[in-house]
Amino acid sequence: MTEVVLLERPAEGVVLLRINRPEARNALNIEVRKLLAKHLAEVSEDTTTRAVVVTGNDKAFAAGADIKEMADAGTIEMHQRGAHKLWRTIAGCSKPVIAAVNGYALGGGCEIAMTCDIIVAGESARFGQPEVKIGIIPGGGGTQRLTRAIGKYKAMKYVLTGDLFTAKEAFEMGLVSEVVPDPEVEGRAIDLARQLAALPPLALQLAKEAVLAGMEAPLSTALALETKSIQILFSSQDQKEGMRAFIEKRKPKFIGH
């Protein structure tokens, strides 16, 4: 049987997770969701992995949850399938996660991209939350993360109409970090991951936590969290090494604690 999520190591410290159901536009069936969650939980714990790239293929990052698999499901079955756990695992990954998006990122696919920390999109990528067209609403964070990323009135338009939007529009609205030519998406995401893999992991982890937790908190609480986080880093060897290396005009060698 074909593995529906492939794990590759394209560079030192970098893990690439490739959703691999091209015949179904990478629709997220239970198996894909379980494997993605499993790999992400493992790389979160693995000290040799410093950054993660999640990608699909040239036609689809992921066209959403597998409609054929859920069409006849009832409430209790949907609850027991625990789909919501996947998005939580990605958002909770302690390493930086980069989405490399070519083709369609729709519904649950767009929601996966939005739980990543950085989104690199190809020029022809298409994003959207088209769930209303099949009688549901975004259920993997789309009503909330899209609204926080692009604001109420744009998010409301896309959530209510189900219309798709382009990579350029996504970039202009603040949903995408970078737009590059389609063939360069994966390479650019790996380059970014390699760049992150060379940086002190504790600093990256605390920076990610401060941004994400801060987004949910009042400004004063978020600023206090930031202050505590920077203070904690002064106990790390990587902080001593980074600053000494700067002063001694040499390249730092980070060890991860």
At its nearest, how many Å lie between ligand DAK and the CB of residue 68? 5
Active site residue 131: yes
Alpha helices by DSSP H, listed for the chain, are 30-45, 67-70, 75-81, 84-91, 108-115, 142-150, 152-161, 167-173, 185-197, 201-215, 219-233, 237-247
- Dist. CA 150–CA 146, nearest whole Å: 6
Binding of ligand DAK at residue 27 (CB under 6 A)?
yes
Interface segment toward ligand DAK; rule CB under 6 A; list 7-15, 63-71, 211-219, 234-242: 63-71
Binding status of residue 130 toward ligand DAK by CB under 6 A: yes
The question of whether 108 is a catalytic residue gets the answer yes
> Judged by CB under 6 A, which of 40, 54, 102, 104 binds ligand DAK?
104
Q: Residue 87 is which amino acid?
A: W
Catalytic residue selected from 103, 107, 108, 142: 108
Instruction: Pick one of 51, 66, 102, 254: the residue that binds ligand DAK (CB under 6 A).
Output: 66
DSSP-based three-state secondary structure for 124: coil
Compute CA distances 240 → 3, 69, 142, 235, 247, whole Å. Answer: 43, 52, 41, 8, 11
- The answer to whether 13 contacts ligand DAK (rule: CB under 6 A) is no
Contact between 56 and ligand DAK per CB under 6 A:
no
Burial 51-78 (b: 16+ CB within 10 A, else e): bbbbbbbeebbbbbbbeeebeeeeeeee
Q: Given 13, 62, 131, 140, which residue is catalytic?
A: 131
Q: Which residue's beta carbon is nearest to the bound ligand DAK?
A: 107
What is the rounded distance in angstroms from the CA atom of residue 166 to the CA atom of residue 174?
12
Identify the bridge partners of residue 138 per DSSP, sorted by sequence position.
Answer: none
Under rule CB under 6 A, residue 134 binds ligand DAK: yes
Q: Which stretch binds ligand DAK (CB under 6 A): 64-72, 112-120, 175-183, 232-240?
A: 64-72
In the list 25, 33, 95, 188, the residue contacting ligand DAK (rule: CB under 6 A) is 25
Verify binding: residue 113, ligand DAK, rule CB under 6 A. no
The DSSP 8-state label assigned to residue 28 in this structure reads B
Report, as residue numbers or ranges, the catalytic residues. 65, 108, 111, 131
